[in-house]
Amino acid sequence: MSPATPRRRIESLLADFEPDFDFVPVPPLPESEFKERLRRIRREAVQAGHDALLVHTDSAGWFHMSNAYLRYICDWAREGLLIIPSDEDKPLILLSFFTQSVLLPPGGEPLLVDEIWQIAPWGREYADRPGQSVLKTAQACVKKLAAMGLDAGQIGRIGDKKSLDLWATLDKLLPAARFVSENAIIDRMQRVRSPGEQAMHRAAAQLIDIGIQAACHVARPGVSDHELYAAFTYAQLARGGETGDGYQIGVNEFGTACGKPYGHVLRPGDLLNFYISNVTYQGYTAQTARMIAVGTLTDRQEDVLATCVDGVKRAEKLIRPGALIRDVNNAAFEPFIEKGYLRDAEARTMPFNWEAMPDGEPRQVKRQYVRDIDWEAQGRKLMHVYPATHGPHNPNLGHSVGMAGGSNSFNISSHNYDRLEEGMVFVLHTQWLEPLSAGCNVGDCYLVTRDGYENLSCHTPLEAFRVPVDSSPTP
C-alpha cells in the first residue's frame, strides 16, 4: 500500500459494487457423468489390450495439482495414484495423501472409488522417519496390482512430468509388466464438452465478467494494481471461484505490461491489461482478456486497440460446426495484414514477443533503462525493454479451454486444419505489443453450438473500458 493511501479506502472501494447481471451457481456434475467417463476409459483400455490403467497427479505447489486427470475421472482434487483395472469386477483403488498438503474433502470426495489408501509423506526432515513417498507409493501400487493378478500384465499410464520418478520406480519394481503411455485416452475425451461441462465453463466465464466489472468499478487515477487485482479476485472468489492466482495484470504508459501486481499506481495515459488465463469453477476454467484505458491515449495506441478488437470480431463471425479452424485464425489477422502490421497469418513465420532469432539462436533482451516511478520507489530499477520484439504474444489466435491444470487439446492457429465441432470451448484473443510504444490483449471465450456459437464472456465488452482523467481516488 502506498504511504499516501488512506487505510480504510482499500476495503471500501467495492462497497457499492453490484454486477449488472445475476450469477447463478451451477451444482456439481452428477455421479452418472463420471460413471459414463469411466465406462469410456475402461473401454479404450480394453481395446488397447491393457489389464489396468494407472493415473497419477502430484503437487505442483500452492495446493495445486500438476494435472487434471484425477479430477476428471473421479473428482479428486488432491494428489494421488488411481488404479483402474480393466475388469469391472475389480475395485478402483486410490493411493493418496503422500504430500504435506493439508487439503481434506469436501469438496472433492472421490466418486466411484472403492478403496482409499493413505501413503503418508515420508522423510527425515518432515517426520524423522526414513523413506521416500515416491517409493512407498510405488511399492503400494505393486502390492495392489499383484493382489489382482495384474503385476505382469500390460498397463497404461496417464500422468505428466511430475510422474516420471514414479514411473521409473515402477519400471524397476515390475520388470515383467509392459507399460504404455496413454494420456491421449482422456485428452481425446476432453476435446468436446458435455452439456454439464459447458455449464461449468459458462459459470467460470461469468465469474470473469463479474471480476472485470469490479475492477472497472474501482479503476481511477491513484488506485494501485494491487487494489485492482484484489477487486477482481474478491468479486469472483466471493461467488464460487476456486483460486485467485490464475491471471495476470499489467499496467504502464505503453500498454505492454503482462505480469503480477507490484505497486503501480494508475495515472493519466496508462493502459491496463487484465489477462485472465483462467478463473476456475468446480475444476473448469474460462479465459478472457480486457483492457482499461486511463484518459487520453496516443494515436498508435488507439489504432492497436481498434485493430485487436476488429480481429476478434472478424474471427467470431466464422464460428460454427464444420468451420475450418485455420480460417477462424486467419480471419482475426486480416486487419493486421491490411494495416501493414503483418505480412501474413502463418504461425511458422509470424513475429511474436517470445520468439528466438530467425536462425533459432536465443534473442537477447535489450538492456536499457526504462523509467518506472513506482518500481524505483521500492529501490529497484527496470533495466531491460520488454517485450524483446514486436508482435502478438503467440503466433496464433487462441486455444482450447478445459480443466485447471489440464492439457491444451488444440490451438486456433494457421496450421490447424481440423474443423470445429459442437461442444468445443476455446478462447480467441488478439494481442499486439510494440516495445515502449503500444499494446493490447483482448479476447472472449466461446462455445460452439449446433448452429453457431455462444460468447461465454458476453457481459463485458471487448472494447477498452475508459477511465476519465478527472476521477479522483476514493477518500
- CATH code of residue 143: 3.40.350.10
Whether 353 has a pLDDT exceeding 70, the answer reads yes
Q: Find, among 295, 290, 319, the residue nearest to 305 by Cα.
A: 290
| Distance between CA atoms of residues 290 and 214, nearest Å | 13
pLDDT of residue 5: 57
Give me the CATH number covering residue 266.
3.90.230.10
| Distance between CA atoms of residues 362 and 154, nearest Å | 43
The residue from 181, 211, 238 where one domain ends is 181
Whether residue 262 sits in one domain with residue 204: yes
C-beta atoms surrounding 449 within 10 Å = 15
Q: Is 464 left (phi over 0), alpha (psi -120 to 50) or beta?
A: beta
Q: Judge whether 148 lies within some domain.
A: yes
Q: Judge whether 31 lies within some domain.
A: no
Whether residue 373 sits in one domain with residue 300: yes
Whether residue 278 sits in one domain with residue 236: yes
Whether residue 431 sits in one domain with residue 290: yes
Whether residue 294 sits in one domain with residue 163: no
| Distance between CA atoms of residues 163 and 66, nearest Å | 9
Q: Judge whether 387 lies within some domain.
A: yes
Q: Judge whether 59 lies within some domain.
A: yes
Whether residue 128 sits in one domain with residue 226: no
Question: What count of residues does the chain have?
Answer: 475
Q: Judge whether 304 lies within some domain.
A: yes
pLDDT digits (tens, 9 = 90+) for 109-153: 899 999 999 999 999 999 999 999 999 999 999 999 999 999 999
The residue from 150, 181, 212 where one domain ends is 181
Q: Judge whether 445 lies within some domain.
A: yes
Whether 471 has a pLDDT exceeding 50, the answer reads no
Whether residue 145 sits in one domain with residue 252: no
The C-alpha cell 457423468 sits at 33
Whether 7 has a pLDDT exceeding 70, the answer reads no
Whether residue 167 sits in one domain with residue 219: no
Whether residue 90 sits in one domain with residue 219: no
Q: Which amino acid is at 67?
A: N
Domain containing 446 equals: 195-467
Q: Judge whether 4 lies within some domain.
A: no
Please tell me whether residue 167 adopts helix, strand or coil conformation: helix
- Report, as an integer, the average pLDDT of 273-285: 97
Whether 61 has a pLDDT exceeding 60, the answer reads yes
Whether residue 345 sits in one domain with residue 312: yes
pLDDT of residue 6: 60
| Distance between CA atoms of residues 449 and 433, nearest Å | 32
pLDDT digits (tens, 9 = 90+) for 172-203: 999 999 999 999 999 999 999 999 999 999 99
Share of the chain above pLDDT 70, in %: 97
The C-alpha cell 505382469 sits at 152
Q: Which amino acid is at 249?
A: I
| Residues contacting residue 408 through CB under 8 Å, at least 6 positions apart | 399, 400, 402
Whether residue 231 sits in one domain with residue 298: yes
| Distance between CA atoms of residues 332 and 310, nearest Å | 7
Whether residue 455 sits in one domain with residue 320: yes
Largest CA distance in the chain: 75
